[in-house]
Amino acid sequence: MNNSLIIGQYVPGNSLIHRLDPRTKITVIFFFVFIVFFANNVVSYSILTLFAIACIVTSRVPIRFIAKGLTPVWFLIIFTFILHLIVTKEGTVLLEILGFKIYSGGVIQGFAISMRFFLLILVTSLLTLTTTPIEITDAIEEMLHPLKKLKFPVHELALMMSISLRFIPTLMQETEKISKAQASRGVDFKTGPIKERIKAIVPLLIPLFISAFKRAEELAMAMEARGYQGGEGRTKLRELKIEKRDMLIFVLFVFVIAGLFYFRSW
Amino acid sequence: MSRKLIEFRDVSFRYGEEQPWVLRNCSFEIYEGEWVAIIGHNGSGKSTIAKLINGLLFPQKGEILIDGQQVNEETIWDIRKEVGMVFQNPDNQFVGTTVQDDVAFGMENRGTPREEMVTRIEETLSAVGMEDYRFTEPHRLSGGQKQRVAIASVLAISPKVLILDEATAMLDPKGRTEIMRTVSNVQNKEDLSLITITHDLQEVVQADRVIVMNKGEIWDRATPREIFSKKDSLREIGLDVPFVAILADELKETGINLTKEPLNHEELLEDLWILHSQT
């Protein structure tokens, strides 16, 4: 039961990637997603792939966790490959199956596009694999800080996110309890036609919602009793700090970008 | 006697114009460093008292003074620095994603500098015996452990008063004894007034004074021992009399003269041994 309660896919560790400031990771990944679309030849793709592999190796996250993160998107990657194979009509004809002509351009195009996909998923899943949800929340709060001037409720948003994260396991435990309680009263969640099964969820959801609202009310009262009065004048225990290693990664990443733009064909 | 810390002057409260009074003309004082238990059955107004002290509710009549300061809209934030509260449900007052984040929450609200927070977290967590759980998430803790964290997070802001509003009601017997032990430890070490609100007579034993509430009025105020001797009237207002008290009563009926009203099994046993050695 405890296994299923781990939120997200965070794999605990103490590698360089784990210890990086979450803001560094988010920024690098943001730009990586951007520059992936500028790669257009073997060398530029190799640079990006090398960078991604280097990140994975330094993160020391076991390959099976990364593979797990990729499972839902394999289909998409293969689908794009096949689509490009069929649609693109450039270069020489390589072979002909059932009247379909496979062009060499299609193979290259398909390979390139699925490679982009693959790299995107790989790098973004590395973020969630090496960063706790709360670190990501903190990073988002810090990065959205300038929006405060526009009266955007940055602190409130971050607090809401962290409270949701804190209550996900609690509500999951409660769901399990309620479903057992209802099952003991004869509600059948597992068999029968789909329509019946959806109906069976109602006696699960209603108690869950009622108790969630009650929790919210009590939590609000407890927070007020502990002196919560909004983001004004608040200090923070969890502090984000840009360290030498973050600068190092930035510099390295700038080299990657420079290399990419130097070697890509214009 | 030391300084008055909390003073209720003829306080009455109801939730709405048409609603019945939940509290009627309550007056009492609580002194510095004192442990006062407020006891009463459901709906006797005991939890309302806690919320009034903390400024979560305001009285319609009368006034409440905390350390000489009247509780009103302007003073509540100062008063909440002096009054810490632990509620009934262990889950619904845990704000942080980990133990140390939760302890920090109250200090963050008050703008405590980070270095001070770190040392306070260490101090308060070891005061409640939870120092090994700093980075643990709430769903991996038992109810009793969560309540101990809640006590630590209140202690972190160094209040003058700690109110436990039925803080043990949702715990198992083991969690209950854990909390009561933690509380009396903490009260011995720090200069803290303690108000425990409960419907369980067993939990008033360690208190200095007891205030018994019934139907929104103060029904009695006395020492735990005096309260224990009024079994019949306690039963009338819907409180469960502990087993030791009933046993003591029946022993008296059979002609065994106990020297005092026993508060727990040890006291009764000691009394019986004394009696045994005399005969």
Q: Suggest the residue from A2, A6, A160, A166 to mutate for an interface test with chain B (most B CBs closer than 10 A).
A: A166
Test A237 with B108 for CB contact under 8 angstroms: yes
Q: Which residues contact B101 (CB under 8 A, 6 or more apart)?
A: A134, A237, A238, B95
Chain B residues closer than 8 Å to A3 by CB: none
B139 to chain A, any CB pair closer than 8 A? The answer is yes
Query: How many angstroms separate the CA atoms of A34 and B112, rounded?
Result: 41
- Percentage of residues in chain B with pLDDT exceeding 70? 100
Instruction: Output the CA torsion B63→B65→B66→B72 (10° steps).
Output: 50
| Residue A131 CA from chain centroid, whole number | 10
Question: pLDDT, tens digit, for every residue of A8-24?
Answer: 678 888 899 999 999 99
Q: Which residue, among A232, A237, A238, A239, would best test binding to B if mutated, counting the most B CBs under 10 Å from its CB?
A: A237
Q: Which residues of chain A neighbour B137 with C-beta distances below 8 Å? A: 166, 169
User: pLDDT per residue over A169-180, tens digit each?
Assistant: 889 889 999 999
Nearest residue of B to residue A170 by CA position? B139
Helix (H/G/I), strand (E/B), else coil: A141: helix
* pLDDT cut 90: percent of chain B above it: 34
Strand pairing report for A100-103 and B209-214: unpaired
How is B40-86 classified by DSSP, letter by letter? --TTSSHHHHHHHHTTSS--SEEEEEETTEE-STTTHHHHHHHEEEE
CA distance A197 to A215: 28
The token pair at A15 is: 């590698």
Alpha-carbon distance of A137 to A143, in angstroms, equals 10
In total, the C-beta contacts within 8 angstroms joining chain A to chain B are: 94
pTM (2 d.p.): 0.81
pLDDT at A5: 41
A172: distance to nearest CA of chain B, Å? 10
For B171, the 3-state DSSP assignment is coil
Give, for all 266 residues of chain A, the pLDDT tens digit. Answer: 344 344 567 888 889 999 999 999 999 999 999 999 998 888 999 999 999 999 999 999 888 888 887 888 888 899 989 888 888 888 788 878 777 788 888 888 888 889 998 999 889 888 888 998 888 889 999 999 899 889 889 889 989 988 998 898 889 889 999 999 988 988 887 777 888 888 888 889 999 999 999 999 999 999 999 989 887 788 888 888 888 999 999 999 999 999 999 988 87
Relative to beta strand B23-31, strand B193-198 is: unpaired
User: In this structure, what token pair is assigned to residue B203?
Assistant: 């939990």
- DSSP readout, B177-192? HHHHHHHHHHHHHTT-
Polymer length of chain B: 279
Could you tell me which chain B residue has the CA closest to the CA of A160? B95
Minimal C-alpha gap between B84 and chain A (Å): 7
Classify A186 in phi/psi space as left (phi over 0), alpha (psi -120 to 50) or beta.
left
A235 vs B77, B81, B112: nearest CB: B112
> Which pLDDT score, from 0 to 100, does residue B149 have?
94
For B185, residues 6+ apart whose C-beta sits below 8 A from its C-beta are B127
The two tokens of residue B70 are: 């009247």
**Residues forming beta bridges with residue B209, ordered by sequence position:** B36
Among all residues of chain A, which has the CA nearest to that of B121? Answer: A237
Least Cα separation, residue B15 to chain A (angstroms): 16
Contact flag A237-B85 (C-beta cutoff 8 Å): no
Q: Give the integer Cα–Cα distance in Å for A27 and B123.
A: 37
CA distance B69 to chain A (A): 17
A chain contacts of residue B154, beta-carbon cutoff 8 Å? 226
Mean pLDDT of B210-220: 89
